[in-house]
Amino acid sequence: MAHVKLTEIDKLVNLSFNEVVLKTYEAFELIDPSGSGVFSVTNKRLIFVAAGSSSITSSTSITEWMIDDIKGIQSEHGKRRHKRQTAIANILGIITGLAAILVAMMFFSGREVLNYYYIGVGVLFLTFIILKLTAKRKMFSLSIFGGTTTPIVNFSSSFYKSAITNQIQIKPSKYTSTMIRDLGSTILNAKGK
């Protein structure tokens, strides 16, 4: 099974009589558990295949839900600012501003300003800019619901820290947005077949 691509779902899962793969969504990286995974929608099932390997183990996990048992999907994707990093950047920005004012006051009062003051303010300012620019992180969450308000399974980026059970952490990829936009309509199309 090591030579089979995850997107070749019909080689990983035996399809039932008259079962057809409607769409397979490209792999994305799994964080916890580690590996990669794909969603595949057939006219009868929603299938999630996860494959992981390390230097000592390798495994393929297949989870499937009957298409008629899926009652809803809730998703969110985009970018959010990391609160702690933004707070540190803001505090550093205030310190940088105060240090710059202090150096400017020393310069204009005729005092000798040592070069390391300029370097220090420059380093503080550069650190502030880097923290501010990197505070935005990709985030993603997808919950699949059965007949209750409790999700059957949750997929989320590591941006979310949650105690939700059955949560699989993923790293969003360039395919994540497409999957979020298409998955609901693909499932509805499958239910209509």
What are the tens digits of pLDDT across the range 47-104?
888 887 766 777 788 888 899 888 888 877 767 677 777 788 888 888 888 888 877 8
Write the pLDDT tens digit of every residue in 109-161: 777 777 777 777 788 888 888 877 777 766 777 888 887 777 877 777 764 44
Integer Cα distance of 82 and 167 in angstroms: 21
Residue 119 and residue 103 in contact, taking contact as beta carbons nearer than 8 Å: no
Mean pLDDT computed over 21-42: 80
Give φ, ψ of 5 to 5 degrees.
-75, 145
- Pair 5, 30: CB distance under 8 Å: no
The Cα 49–Cα 42 span in angstroms is: 13
* For range 172-178, the mean pLDDT: 78
Whole-model pTM?
Answer: 0.64
Q: Of 117-121, 177-181, 188-192, which gets the smallest average pLDDT? A: 117-121
